[in-house]
Amino acid sequence: MLRLKLLILLLIYSSFGLNAKQFGQSDIQVELPKIIVGDVSQSITLKIVSDSLYGQFEGVSKTVFLNEKSYEVTFVRNEAAFNYDFPEDEHLIIKMDDFILEKAVTPIPLWMSVLPPLIAIILALLLKEVFSALFVGILTGTSIMFYYQGVGFFAAIGKGFLAVIDTYVMDSLTDRGHLSIIIFSMMIGGMVQLISSNGGMKGVVNRLSVFARSSRSGQLVTWLLGMVIFFDDYANTLVVGNTMRPVADRLKISRAKLAYIVDSTAAPIAAIAFVTTWIGAELSYIQDGLNVIGLNQSAYNVFFNSLAYSFYPILTLIFVLMIILMKREYGPMLKAENAVRSKKAPQDEINSDSSETENKFETSVKYEKAMNAIIPVAVIIFGTISGLLYTGWDKALWANEEVSFITKISEIIGKSDSYAALLWSSVSALVVAFMLTLSQRILNLQKTIESILEGFRIMMTAILILTLAWSVALVTEHMHTADFIAQSLLSMSFSPYLIPAFTFILAALVAFSTGTSWGTMAILYPLLLPTSWMLTESAPGIDHEHGLTIFYSVVSAVLSGSILGDHVSPISDTTILSSISSGCNHIEHVRTQMPYALTVGFVAVVFGTIPAAYGFVSSWVLMLLGVVILFGFIHFFGKKVINQTNE
């Protein structure tokens, strides 16, 4: 009995002793962020490295002192973390129990985070060559990172040069979404080249010739195709650009104009349609903001209500149509169109991506069956939609009679795996084109494979530019470029009525700098939705219903501004794809599209977003007003393209 009591006392003492144990100097390892940026909240991680303490502090809370400021942390799986806003220069002293760490850090000044994308954009516009501009932009970022890690100036450049490839290019290529886009693009390229080689594309051209008899009707057909392929912006740019390129050449439509129509119907229609690959990301981003606010509305309901304030994407689609029907142009686009009409197009207008890769089998092909192209393209369209429905299918949702049909379809698409759907549809379309070519004995097996490989080769230029653009975006993410832009503008005081306009401009700047509309939405939705909601709820004279109106306008402003910034950014992936698929020099496309995009953006903000926030009139009345103003602008400032008057 005595031994039993002693054993119990020993266990109690041991347990008490364990609970009272503190961390010693060798028990903890502190992990600071690899890239420390000033004035940005970043995570500091504490890891238990003592084998004897593994698992002993699971769920245990501790107080950490960093420069005398306390932080409460809880250990989970032998790790605990807390966020800290690093100043520009500081000597860190971290204490916890008997553990102490002293370390000097020199964070990167936040303003320097804007240098990589800014340098890339300026060089791209000045040199009219995007590869070196993007590379220098990435190198600028990596060199800054190493320099502030204590490496000398020249050593930082050397290490930064190597990091461009071994870190940023590799990380960009190992991202599943990026790989999916690369493979999808190659499959599309192979299919397009094959349906060109087997005469299918020629057959489509012949069919379209019935409707596309002039420059205006050819542009109109391109616009209609852009509206039809509404479900994905990547599929839109690649299919429409490659399909209409030979038609545009025959009808003397400049490659710049073709790229503009393709680019300006891709993201705008994909962003506002109910069944698209965008809907899942949009609903996810909106839900993140709603979670912070606690607003009792579904993300889909918020998205649906925000469409009434999506002035830029809707006006862009209408503006493109008006430009086509009115046969007027202005700015660099007028020069590009006139140059093609006068048969004095610059060499950039006849892009080598298309001219040097014209179908080398075409002279030996006697078949010109449009179905050899229509069937594979239809497989992409319906295959993508089927894939989206399959990967996002929810039996319980579909059986719910209280939910409308459109809501069911939208939520199913929102839950889908868009990358899988695109991959399945593109490889299926390539296989179908392959089988059609061989079964009709249009080309032999060797020439069929060579044609597919040629299509892969054509897409390598786009893939290289995309990879560099993704790398720039990753650099901007690591350096917190979006935080700098957001903090700079959010530090200013704005009237609640101007929040939507401010949001639109901020989103446009971030998307322009980073080259990604999706990334911009991911950053700004959780940041601006709670901010706008709190400001409107606390503002005098704004009731709940009016506050909801401003809130919906902010939701649409993030989306609309992201698309505008994406349209005018030389490092945007959709802008790059539009250039490549249309066979237009990339910088020429950016230069000619920018005035049009900025025109619509200005009208959308001044005559749409701002008055809508004040609630003067209905948003749809403002939408009509925007159309009238754009019509007047084209009429008074646009000029007729030469040799197009009687078309």
- Please name the residue ranges forming H helices in 252-310: 255-272, 279-293, 299-306
Which residues partner with 48 through β-bridges? 28
Closest CA to 34 of 203, 149, 171, 190: 149
Amino acid 365: pLDDT: 54
d(C-alpha 530, C-alpha 18), whole Å: 44
d(C-alpha 366, C-alpha 532), whole Å: 63
Amino acid 491: pLDDT: 67
What are 234-255's pLDDT values in tens digits? 777 877 888 888 888 888 899 9
Amino acid 492: pLDDT: 67
CA 82 from chain center: how many Å? 30
Q: Are 98 and 23 in contact (CB under 8 A)?
A: yes
Ordered by start, the domain boundaries in the chain are: 22-107, 111-174, 178-327+337-481+492-640
Assign residue 448 a region (left: φ > 0; alpha: ψ between -120 and 50; beta: otherwise): alpha
Amino acid 277: pLDDT: 61
Phi then psi for 276, rounded to 5 degrees? Answer: -140, 170
- ∠ CA 171-177-179, nearest 5°, is 65
Closest CA to 290 of 305, 277, 278, 272: 305
| SS3 at position 103 | strand
Q: Per the structure block, which two tokens stand in for 320?
A: 């493109």
**How does strand 41-48 pair with strand 61-66?**
unpaired
Amino acid 271: pLDDT: 85
CB count within 10 Å of CB 138 equals 31
Closest CA to 604 of 531, 553, 638: 553
Question: DSSP states of 503-559 as a string?
Answer: HHHHHHHHHHHHS-HHHHHHHHHHHHHHHHHHHHHHSTT--HHHHHHHHHHHHHHHH
Residues 6 or more apart from 533 whose CB is under 8 A from it?
293, 295, 547, 551
Question: DSSP states of 354-379 as a string?
Answer: HHTTS-TTGGG-----THHHHHHHHH
Amino acid 363: pLDDT: 37
d(C-alpha 457, C-alpha 193), whole Å: 10
pTM of the model: 0.70
Low-confidence ranges of the chain (pLDDT < 70): 1-21, 88-89, 125, 128, 205, 209, 231, 274-277, 279-281, 284, 288, 292, 343-367, 414, 486, 489-494, 526, 643-647
Pick the CATH number of 22-107 from 3.30.70.920, 2.60.40.1180, 1.10.3720.10, 2.60.40.1930: 2.60.40.1930
Residues 6 or more apart from 17 whose CB is under 8 A from it?
none
| SS3 at position 150 | coil
d(C-alpha 417, C-alpha 615), whole Å: 38
